[in-house]
Chain A
Amino acid sequence: MVNITINGKVVRATEGEMLLDVIRREGINIPTLCQHDALEPAGNCRLCMVEITRTEWDGWKKYVTSCLYPVEEGLIVSTHTSELHEIRKTILDLLLANSPHSDVLQKMAEEYGLHKTSYEPNLEGDNCIMCYACTRICEVLGKSAISPVMRGHEKVIAPPFGEEPPDCIGCLACAHICPTNVITWTDENLTRTIWKKKFELIACEKCGKATISRDFAEYLIEKRGLPKEYFNTCDDCKRVELAQKMGALVDKAKEVAL
Chain B
Amino acid sequence: MKFQFEVKPSLCTGCRTCELACAFSHTRDKKPGRSRIYPIAYAPDKFVPVACLQCDDAACVKSCMFGALKRNETTGAIDLDRERCVKCMACVAACPFGCALVDEGHDNEIVKCDLCGGDPACAHFCPTKALVYKKIG
Residues of B contacting A234 with CB < 8 Å?
98
B100 and A224 contact, CB distance less than 8 A = no
CA gap between A249 and B92 in the complex, in Å: 25
Stretch at the interface among B15-23, B24-32, B34-42, B121-129: B34-42
Among B84, B88, B94, the one with the most A-chain Cβ atoms within 10 Å of its Cβ is: B88
CA gap between A241 and B9 in the complex, in Å: 15
B90 and A242 contact, CB distance less than 8 A = no
B83 and A239 contact, CB distance less than 8 A = no
CA gap between A62 and B57 in the complex, in Å: 48
CA gap between A247 and B48 in the complex, in Å: 7
Residues of A contacting B63 with CB < 8 Å?
220, 224, 226
B87 and A225 contact, CB distance less than 8 A = no
Nearest Cβ in chain B — how far from A206, in angstroms?
11
The tally of residues in A whose CB lies under 8 Å from a CB in B reads 42
Contact A230 B94, CB 8 Å, known A224-B63, A246-B48, A247-B48: yes
Residues of A contacting B87 with CB < 8 Å?
172, 176
Question: Does B93 count as interface, using CB distance less than 8 angstroms?
Answer: yes
Contact flags B38-51 to A (C-beta < 8 A → 1, else 0)? 10111100101010
Nearest Cβ in chain A — how far from B3, in angstroms?
19
Residues of B contacting A227 with CB < 8 Å?
96
Stretch at the interface among A64-72, A145-153, A210-218: A210-218
> Nearest chain-B residue to A219 (Cβ)?
B65
Residues of B contacting A11 with CB < 8 Å?
none
A177 and B86 contact, CB distance less than 8 A = yes
Question: Does A54 count as interface, using CB distance less than 8 angstroms?
Answer: no
A224 and B40 contact, CB distance less than 8 A = no
Contact residues of B with A, CB < 8 Å?
A: 7, 9-10, 38, 40-43, 46, 48, 50, 59, 62-63, 65-68, 81, 83-90, 92-102
A-B residue pairs in contact (CB < 8 Å), sample of 6: A171-B88, A217-B93, A227-B96, A235-B92, A242-B98, A243-B50
